[in-house]
């Protein structure tokens, strides 16, 4: 391109293109508002839920919600509402504020016994994921939602908490999920005559809540976290800005259940079990890493959670080195008959065997990097993937150490 005029014209085109790209990048995303209002009705064991849409520079044109008929009833709304099997399709009014209303039956008993959601005359424990079910949303391209969660509490119910921070006026919760354009109030919710203890550790607020009258070890858990939270941060990086732990006694399920930025722990579960593991630390590892196993590889998620339930207690000096070694010896014995780790659900001996494999993998990483790297580095690389397969694990280990893992070349993974 020797012609000076052509050069100047070409340069001008590049400048205009760069300005256009910069302008598009700087332009705010279209937005619309969403308010979820939950009115608990303990007399009928239901929650009356309203989803209110407010069009702005963007809008929602359709929502398809997963609503099994035995749980979600009396579904009505502005615009068009149709049900086909377990799916409700809502087409709100075009360009106008619109509301969808329905009732959700709260209490749910697991097939193995115990409730994983329950409402009494005095309190409720439930997942926000169930109050507002999953939905496929059709909205203005590139748009973002601005979401608030409000509660209407029965007379005598004095408290409510969620995994989300409160708004400045304290009247609602600010629901955000950077990974999605349409935000739902996922995670645990507790409300009613409940007692709560809160503490700020670093940049994370921790709330421990449970029904008044139940023997909830609120202060014990907060003391436990004082030693544990710094180790979680060192192992996995930045932590959520808020963590909610919900606890209750019988007839709630006698275990731990993790959720986004929150978890449930039965009031009778010890902070550290006789075998040296910790259900609380196990579930907290799920909450913070959010790693789940791909098909056949649930052992990765469950094994990591159980491995770190021992390892992080040791690092925090809540377990001595000798006691941690005894915990691993118990795991080795518990899982010694396991011949394969491949299953869609890992528990008991299979998870114990996975813990020993991961412990050996940590030793391999440390040996090959002369102590400069560890399994922590591998896990941090896996966290963004969320759904992790054995191939992903092998790939990240090789990236960290520079060579394929001998530990992962095992008949357990054939």
pLDDT at position 328 is 97
pLDDT at position 180 is 72
| Strand intervals (E) in 325-376 | none
Q: Which residue has the tokens 């709100």?
A: 92
Query: CA-based Rg of the chain, rounded to a whole angstrom?
Result: 25
Name the residue ranges covered by the structural domains of the chain.
Answer: 31-269, 283-413
**Closest Cα partner for 132 from 268, 218, 230, 34?**
34
List CB contacts of 340: < 8 A, sequence separation 6 or more. Answer: 411, 412, 413, 414
Is 178's pLDDT higher than 90? Answer: no
* CA angle in degrees (0–180, nearest 5) for 39-214-259: 55
3-state secondary structure of 380: helix
- Tell me if the domain spanning 31-269 has CATH number 1.10.10.1590: no
Angle between helices 298-315 and 348-368 (to 10 degrees): 70
pLDDT at position 96 is 96
d(C-alpha 291, C-alpha 39), whole Å:
33
> 3-class secondary structure for 283-333?
HHHHHHHCCEECCCEHHHHHHHHHHHHHHHHHHCCCCCHHHHHHHHHHHHH
Comparing 114-123, 170-179, 224-233, 274-283, which segment has the lowest mean pLDDT?
A: 170-179
d(C-alpha 77, C-alpha 79), whole Å:
6
d(C-alpha 37, C-alpha 162), whole Å:
13
Both tokens assigned to 309: 């339930």
pLDDT at position 24 is 47
d(C-alpha 173, C-alpha 38), whole Å:
12
List CB contacts of 130: < 8 A, sequence separation 6 or more. Answer: 71, 104, 117
Per-residue model confidence as pLDDT tens digits over 198-257? 999 989 999 999 999 999 999 999 999 999 999 999 999 999 999 999 999 999 999 999
Q: List, in sequence order, the alpha helices (H) in 88-190.
A: 128-131
d(C-alpha 57, C-alpha 34), whole Å:
13
Report yes or no: 117 and 108 within 8 Å, Cβ to Cβ. yes
Report residue 29's pLDDT band, with 50, 70 and 90 as the boundaries.
Answer: confident
The arithmetic mean of pLDDT across residues 248-268, rounded, is 96
Is 0.95 topped by the overall pTM? Answer: no
**Closest Cα partner for 131 from 51, 247, 44, 240?**
51
β pairing state of 98-105 and 46-54: antiparallel
Comparing 21-25, 39-43, 179-183, 388-392, which segment has the lowest mean pLDDT?
A: 21-25
What is the separation, in whole angstroms, between the first and last Cα of the chain?
60
Angle between helices 348-368 and 390-401 (to 10 degrees): 20
Q: Which residue has the tokens 């799920």?
A: 286
The arithmetic mean of pLDDT across residues 363-371, rounded, is 98
d(C-alpha 310, C-alpha 43), whole Å:
43
Percent share of the chain, pLDDT over 90: 89
d(C-alpha 278, C-alpha 201), whole Å:
20
Half-sphere exposure of 129 (CA within 13 A, CB side): 13
pLDDT at position 177 is 80
Both tokens assigned to 190: 């507790």
Is 155's pLDDT higher than 80? Answer: yes
Is 411's pLDDT higher than 70? Answer: yes
* CA angle in degrees (0–180, nearest 5) for 231-283-214: 110
Distances (CA, A) of 374 to 207, 235, 260, 358, 381: 31, 10, 26, 11, 12
Beta bridge partners of 81: 90
Distances (CA, A) of 18 to 6, 8, 28, 33, 358: 18, 15, 18, 32, 49
């Amino acid at each position: 391109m020797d012609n000076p005029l052509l050069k100047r014209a070409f340069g001008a085109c590049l400048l205009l293109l760069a300005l256009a790209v910069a302008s598009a990048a700087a332009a705010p995303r279209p937005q619309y508002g969403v308010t979820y209002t939950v009115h608990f009705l303990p007399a009928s064991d239901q929650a009356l839920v309203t989803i209110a849409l407010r069009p702005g520079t963007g809008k929602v044109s359709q929502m398809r919600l997963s609503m099994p008929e035995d749980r979600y009833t009396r579904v009505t709304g502005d615009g068009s509402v149709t049900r086909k099997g377990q799916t409700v399709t809502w087409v709100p009014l075009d360009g106008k504020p619109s509301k969808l209303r329905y009732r959700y039956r709260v209490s749910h008993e697991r097939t193995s016994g115990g409730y994983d959601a329950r409402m009494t005359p005095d309190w409720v424990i439930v997942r926000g994921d169930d109050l507002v079910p999953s939905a496929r949303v059709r909205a203005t391209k590139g748009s973002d939602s601005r979401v608030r969660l409000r509660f209407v509490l029965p007379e005598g119910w004095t408290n409510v908490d969620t995994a989300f921070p409160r708004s400045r006026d304290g009247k609602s919760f600010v629901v955000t999920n950077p990974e999605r354009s349409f935000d739902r109030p996922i995670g645990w919710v507790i409300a009613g005559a409940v007692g709560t203890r809160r503490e700020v550790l670093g940049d994370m607020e921790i709330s421990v809540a449970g029904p008044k009258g139940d023997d909830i070890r609120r202060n014990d858990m907060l003391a436990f976290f004082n030693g544990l939270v710094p180790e979680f941060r060192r192992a996995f990086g930045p932590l959520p800005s808020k963590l909610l732990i919900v606890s209750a006694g019988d007839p709630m399920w006698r275990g731990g259940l993790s959720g986004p930025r929150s978890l449930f722990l039965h009031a009778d579960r010890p902070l550290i079990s006789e075998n040296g593991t910790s259900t609380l630390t196990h579930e907290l590892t799920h909450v913070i890493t959010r790693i789940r196993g791909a098909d056949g590889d649930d052992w990765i998620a469950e094994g990591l959670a159980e491995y770190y339930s021992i390892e992080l207690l040791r690092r925090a000096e809540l377990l001595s080195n000798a006691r941690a070694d005894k915990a691993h010896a118990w795991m080795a014995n518990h899982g010694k008959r396991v011949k394969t780790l491949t299953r869609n659900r890992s528990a008991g001996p299979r998870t114990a065997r996975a813990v020993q494999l991961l412990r050996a993998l940590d030793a391999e990483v440390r040996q090959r990097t002369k102590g400069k790297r560890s399994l922590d580095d591998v896990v941090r690389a896996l966290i963004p993937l969320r759904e992790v397969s054995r191939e992903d694990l092998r790939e990240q280990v090789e990236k960290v150490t520079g060579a394929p893992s001998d530990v992962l070349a095992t008949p357990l993974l054939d």
